[in-house]
Amino acid sequence: MAASTPPSTTIHELEAFCPGCPEPGEVTAFLDTQGFTLGFTMGAVPAHDRNVAPLPAQFHYERDDGLCIIYLAGRDTSMSGEHFPAHQSRFWASAGAESAAFDRITRALAVRWGFTWQRAAQDGARPAPRAYVA
C-alpha cells in the first residue's frame, strides 16, 4: 500500500486507518523526534453492554505551532453504523500554523506505519467519527 498525503493547502484535518497497531511508546518516541509532546492520554474503555462499543486507548500529541496528532491504539468501532475499513489502529492529524510541517509529518507517519491519509470529517469527506475526549 503506497503512503500518501493530500496537499494541505485546503485540508486541515486528516484521518487514517492503520493496518498495524504500533506500541504507544514507539509512536511517542517517533513524534518526540518531530517536536511533539504527549499532552493527554486515556486508557482503553471496555464495552459495558452490547449497545456501547469499547474505546481503544488514545494518545493526543501537540506541537507549539498548533499541529496535533491523535493516536488510537486499537480498532475503532463506529457508533453510527458506518462501515470502517479494516484496521488495527487509527490516527488523526490537525494542521497547525506551518503547512510545510503538516505535510512533512503526515507523510512521515504514513510511510513509517504504511497507511494512507484521507480527509477527516471536519473537512467534509466523511461522516463525523464518534467523539473522543480531549
- d(C-alpha 11, C-alpha 73), whole Å: 24
Single-letter residue type at 48 = H
The residue ranges of every structural domain in the chain are 13-46+53-117
Give the largest Cα separation in the chain, rounded: 44
pLDDT given at position 26? 98
Neighbouring-strand partners of residue 13: 94
- d(C-alpha 121, C-alpha 98), whole Å: 21
Range of lowest pLDDT (2-6, 50-54, 73-77, 128-132): 128-132
pLDDT given at position 121? 67
pLDDT digits (tens, 9 = 90+) for 46-86: 877 677 778 899 999 999 999 999 999 999 877 777 788 88
Q: Is the pLDDT of residue 5 over 70?
A: no
- d(C-alpha 134, C-alpha 129), whole Å: 14
Q: What is the mean pLDDT of the chain?
A: 83
pLDDT given at position 101? 93
User: Do 8 and 103 form a contact (C-beta atoms < 8 A)?
Assistant: yes
pLDDT confidence of 12, banded at 50, 70, 90? confident
